[in-house]
Structure 1
Amino acid sequence: MDKQFEALRALGAGDFQHLNGSLEAHLKGTESILAAWGSDEILRLAGLFHAAYGTAGFDEQMVSLLQRESISAIIGGDAEALVYLYCSCDRDYVFPQFGNAETIQFLDRFSGSLFVLSKEQANRFCALTVANELELVHASDEFKNKHGLELLALFECMDRYLSLEAKEAYKSALIEFT
């Protein structure tokens, strides 16, 4: 992943500020969490680039949506599709469905399109969501104290889509909120 990480740096990820430091450090930390869970390369690469197009929670864009082909050339089409899925999520619409619906209707905040997540998409999306948020929890007690209870509730609703490793990680990180 060194080649992809260098490409990430060249895109200027280190120049963006994130909640607890540089976006570069956050992205690398998210990828490290996914690696510790034994995630495959597609998910790990998506973790490294998960905020490339901005997200509903972090609206800064490292790259334009017009550069999707360039990102795909760096990390592969499957990883880029997952990055796009993650960045395009209308969280206010999608998150409340976890734990409350048999299938998850996904609203793309960029295009306005609506579709049902496949089981694989839901699994990968949830793993990426948990890894992203846990990186922030580990980096900041302030963030953890402010958002821990809300995150625990979300992760519990996502539980059926998560690996055993992801479940153990969030439960351990947020144990004081149980």
Structure 2
Amino acid sequence: MESARISARTSEAARRLLREQGADTLAHPGGTLLSHLDRVARQLSLWGARPALQLAGLCHAFYGTDGFAPALLPWDQRGRLRSAIGAEAETVVYFYASCDRRATYPVLTAPDMRLRDRFTGRSHTPTLQEKRDFAELTAANELDIARIDDDFRERCGAGLLTLFTRIRPLLTPGAWQDCTAVLGP
């Protein structure tokens, strides 16, 4: 079931900022970073994500990530992105970008897990909603790359399926179904 759509005004503001920061010219598997971001947002919509999570999917690489170093904006300029997409979506983007994946992936489903912010070094206990958003965005992001890059899927597919199996309680049924369809045997 497809969820509510991002407003045209907010979507255009996000895309304008993405283009201003060069996302439409930055190489990424499957074309440009902007094309990848569009696919991730579309996938989240197909899984029924609320508009704020779809916007986070569209903008998830703004501050770089633990797996994709180029940043479109430094994280200390969060206000620029927040003005374009709203506070809720920007908070998801920041959470996603600031996550130390090696430390987070193994404990994401633990009720008392601590997230270490790789930008500031501070830690906090994320809410269940923050963990669900992170898991869903991670699945949409990694599955997009796995769908278009055979080498990536061959190299990382088994590990990703193990990760998604472990965090399955945080994923929507649609996300889990796609995880097994794309990464399964």
1:155 offset after TM fit, Å?
0.5
User: 1:104-126 CA distances to partner (integer Å, 9 max, x unpaired)?
Assistant: 31110000011111101001010
SS of 2:72's equivalent in the other structure is coil
1:136 offset after TM fit, Å?
0.3
**How many residues get paired?**
175
Amino acid at match of 2:19: R
Q: Which 4+ runs in 1 deviate beyond 4 A?
A: none
Amino acid at match of 1:143: F
Give unpaired runs (5+ residues) of structure 1.
none
Amino acid at match of 2:41: E
Q: Is the 8 A contact 2:61 2:71 kept in 1?
A: yes
In the alignment, does 2:161 pair up with 1:152? yes
Normalising by structure 1, what TM-score?
0.93
Match of 2:49 in 1: 39
Give the distance between the partners of 1:143 and 1:103, measured in 2 at CA.
32
Give the distance between the partners of 2:154 and 2:63, measured in 1 at CA.
28
Amino acid at match of 2:103: Y
Percent identity over the alignment? 34
Give the distance between the partners of 1:57 and 1:41, measured in 2 at CA.
24
Q: Is the 8 A contact 1:98 1:154 kept in 2?
A: no
Superposition RMSD in Å: 1.3
In the alignment, does 2:91 pair up with 1:81? yes
Amino acid at match of 1:29: R
Match of 1:16 in 2: 26
Normalising by structure 2, what TM-score?
0.90
Match of 1:119 in 2: 128
Matches within 5 A, 1:1-178: 1-98=11-108, 101-176=110-185
SS of 2:73's equivalent in the other structure is coil
Give the distance between the partners of 1:55 and 1:93, measured in 2 at CA.
14
Match of 2:4 in 1: none
